[in-house]
Structure 1
Amino acid sequence: MGFAEDHLIPLVDEGLGNSAYLLDLGDGRALAVDAGRDLRALRAAARRRRLTVAYAADTHLHADFLSGAVQLAHDAGATVLASAAGRRAFPHRGLADGDEVDLGGLHLRALATPGHTDEHLSFLLLDGGRGVGVFTGGSLIVDSAARTDLLGAERTEELARAQYHSLRRLAVLPEETAVWPTHGAGSFCSAPPGAERTTTIAAQKRTNPLLAAPDEEAFVRRLVASLGSYPAYFARLSERNRRGPTVLAGTPPLPALEAGQVKALLADGGQVVDVRPAAAFAAGHIPGAISIPLREQFATWLGWLLPDTTPLAFVVGDGQDAEEVVWQAYKIGYERLAGHLAGGMPAWRTAGGSAATTAFVTADQASDGPYLDVRQEAEYAAGHVPGALHLELGDLAEPAGHAADAPAGVVVACGHGERAMTAASLLERAGHTGVSVLAGGPAEYAAAHGMRLEAAADGGDR
């Protein structure tokens, strides 16, 4: 059976900004590309189509999530397809540039496209010898290319030059060739906000500013200039993916803990993570707890702000899914999950535990005092409150120690309040008092205080 567009099922992780793909091969088998460790959506899609995953391909050694390929090999007998240059320490079919895999009518051709990583492959899908689409991973993505600084600052330019040649190689594919990247909008590996998840070679030749660069030097300047910060956990996962993640037997447990057990965990150096909405955390929380609301971006901030070696206990609110906490943590390699507080904050108070509060204020209630903006650099540059102090949320966590740079009595703000509440919890853990959190963003604050937002071009603080 040949390729049809409805045979390809994109599976988007909105929190990490990534896409995995499940390709129906037409004979009851499927190919999975860049599947993550949280396989719930992929398995549901396979069940709907009555498919068995026969192949699991990884375009590169991922830094932002643990691969699900080893799990698929264990559970379904899938053949893992990956770069031979990646030296993976588990059974797989190692591929080099130009190698082809017969999928049973369709073929997959490996194209060496280094840049995002050294061993990066793109996979060209062939139907009767004709290329119908290419899985580009972290090479060519929608209107950009994935970052090249994950292997250290000393190699950023070298890899950017490799990325230049990789994108040029992909750009000579027929213009009608579909482009199926892994990294997309929301990914700290790359993509500009609001970008589409998939594209074509023709569309990228029209709209991708990196492909429009007149020469290699201009390309490198543009790509390197676009690189912002990225989560701390990225430094660990490539090697874990090379070794192969531990195979899991179902959803790992998150045991119920009594208040006394949580107190003991804190005394032994553990950490409480409060996953309730920001307003619930503000109204009362365990002193020293870190607020990371359970939402799509939960894994990113967990991995950015806390080490994976610290035992974690969670405060979960009514109606929140503890299983979601587990998978968000496990997909980025956080496995030291001690459990969740049984009965939540009411049980904590009943057991005599103290509770702290944080002021959560609207723009008109916020003081005119120091204003701390914890958004990413690009967000801040696009428009911020005049005179605002800017520290990215990721810079407030230990061991960076930038929490000490925040002034007393500060109003903490982001775009809506979730990241600001996380920042406030870090400041409070570091000993700050009188911290308040803005329920809203800079536009609301500026309007309430008679200001006009500044952009970086205005000469405002950076």
Structure 2
Amino acid sequence: MGFADDHLVPLVDSGLGNSAYLVDLGDGRALAVDASRDLRALREAAARRGLAVAYAADTHLHADFLSGAVQLAHDDGASILASAAGHRTFEHTPLADGDETDLGGLTLRALATPGHTDEHLSFVLLDGSRELGVFTGGSLIVGSAARTDLLGADRAEELARAQYRSLGRLAGLPDPTPVWPTHGAGSFCSAPPGAERTTTIAAQKRANALLTAPDEDTFVRRLLGSLGSYPAYFGRLSEANRRGPAVLGSAPALPALAPAGLRGLLGRGAHVVDVRPVADFAAGHIPGAVSIPLRDQFATWLGWLLPDDAPLAVVAGPGQDLAEITWQALKIGYERLAGHLDGGMAAWTADGGAQEQIELITADEIAGRPVLDIRQRAEHTAAHIPGAVHIELGDLTTRSGDAPAGAVVACGHGERAMTAASLLRRDGHRGLTVLDGGPADWAEATGRPLKENA
């Protein structure tokens, strides 16, 4: 059994593709690294071990979630450890390259690793002079390094070159050193697919195409060439984390709204987010509602497609977890949660509320209709229905006019396609249908091959 087996608890947010870490310091206290504002899993893990969080370390100013460090300082008295170069406006211990923090037996050493962000730090956890592991945040990750364009496309190459030097520093750690990244598969901060969330320096030296690059220019070309789009809300959260998220009081609740109350909110510019499963939304929904089914990726699409400065009203189905909706919204800075429709769509229609439908069809029903593929560029490039028009879901709010009339909207399974269809319907498109399935189902139904882009 190694240190990680006994003392390290990874806390994976599969929706955002991130890992936070709880480190048992062996004396009833704990270190939290890159904890998000949704502290439920961390608190459960700490309670199981009888731990109090004494330190909260952030590797960088996160763009994809609000940090939980300020909340941990408020609730638990945790000392916040973060880069001095981040110029955070709340109380914290500002760290520079080489600074060490005595955790009471173990030591945390800051290692400047800019690239993903300017002020990025990695944290080497030491027992005396022995490296127990390194928290690499958005620097070295499994199979890659995190994206360098979050501060603007004009700085992407400069930061990629900084990332090259930072990975070189990390590669200088002893080969057996465990690597504990924040970003992993599913993260829009640029992580390749794969099940592994942690790794070692030696494994990355062998298998990471960036670490095996023969020179800096090749590294930069490979890293920048791997970058796809990312959610719109990423542009807001770094500054929110620099200022510090608002401290939350008791567990937030989602108030119940009567149909009349919801109508009043709509008249004042509120957005309706329908979190029910695709089939339920297809059968009947409030006109103008945006379908974002409640699943692990709910926060990503909420933050990509809807504004954070307007009231949000939720339509949920029986048994759906209202607390999960609330926490997913709060962890990405969506504070204006007006409430949920009490009684759901049954109450809405009973009160005379109008509803609309969007037809779901199977792959064998496409029959020559135009297809709109709204998946990410890499997904579309890998394999798509021949002739499909491609517009990423994240671009539809500005490109709805480019969607073909009467399209069959398709993604991998149907959830994102229904989101896209709801946005298009809101913008005036009619005659849309949604593919219940994805390109693989079309290939099986027709016996025809999918197209790959070179």
- The Cα shift of 1:450 comes to 4.3
Aligned to 2:365, the other structure's residue is in SS state coil
Q: Is residue 2:439 matched to residue 1:423?
A: no
Amino acid at match of 2:414: G
Q: Is residue 2:159 matched to residue 1:159?
A: yes
What is the aligned partner in structure 2 of residue 451 from structure 1?
448
Aligned to 1:23, the other structure's residue is in SS state strand
Q: Is residue 2:57 matched to residue 1:57?
A: yes
TM-score by length of 1: 0.97
In the TM superposition, what are the counterparts of 1:71-220 in structure 2 within 5 Å?
A: 71-220=71-220
In structure 2, distance between residues paired with 1:115 and 1:202: 21
After superposition, give the CA deviation of every residue in 1:339-398 in whole Å (9 maximum; x if it has no partner).
00000000000000011000011111234210000000000111011111000000012x
In structure 2, distance between residues paired with 1:176 and 1:369: 55
What is the aligned partner in structure 2 of residue 403 from structure 1?
400
Aligned to 1:320, the other structure's residue is in SS state coil
Amino acid at match of 2:115: G
C-alpha RMSD over aligned residues = 0.9
What is the aligned partner in structure 2 of residue 460 from structure 1?
none
CA contact (8 A) 1:142 1:195 kept: no
In structure 2, distance between residues paired with 1:194 and 1:359: 34
Aligned to 1:456, the other structure's residue is in SS state coil
Q: CA separation of 1:418/1:100 partners in 2, compared to 1, >3 Å: closer, same or farther?
A: same
What is the aligned partner in structure 2 of residue 359 from structure 1?
359
- Deviation larger for 357-366 or 374-383: 357-366
What percent identity do the matched residue pairs reach? 74
Give the gaps of 5 or more residues in structure 2: none
- The Cα shift of 1:430 comes to 0.5
Give the gaps of 5 or more residues in structure 1: 458-462
Amino acid at match of 2:90: F
- The Cα shift of 1:443 comes to 1.5
Aligned to 1:272, the other structure's residue is in SS state strand
Amino acid at match of 2:33: V
- The Cα shift of 1:251 comes to 1.9
- The Cα shift of 1:4 comes to 5.3
In structure 1, distance between residues paired with 2:100 and 2:146: 25
Q: Is residue 2:444 matched to residue 1:435?
A: no
TM-score by length of 2: 0.99
After superposition, give the CA deviation of every residue in 1:387-413 in whole Å (9 maximum; x if it has no partner).
11000000012xx2x011111110000
Amino acid at match of 1:426: L
In structure 1, distance between residues paired with 2:44 and 2:32: 13
- The Cα shift of 1:449 comes to 3.3
Amino acid at match of 1:454: K
Aligned positions, number: 453
In structure 1, distance between residues paired with 2:21 and 2:196: 15
- The Cα shift of 1:268 comes to 1.3
CA contact (8 A) 1:256 1:341 kept: yes
In structure 2, distance between residues paired with 1:336 and 1:304: 16
- The Cα shift of 1:129 comes to 1.2
CA contact (8 A) 1:385 1:451 kept: no
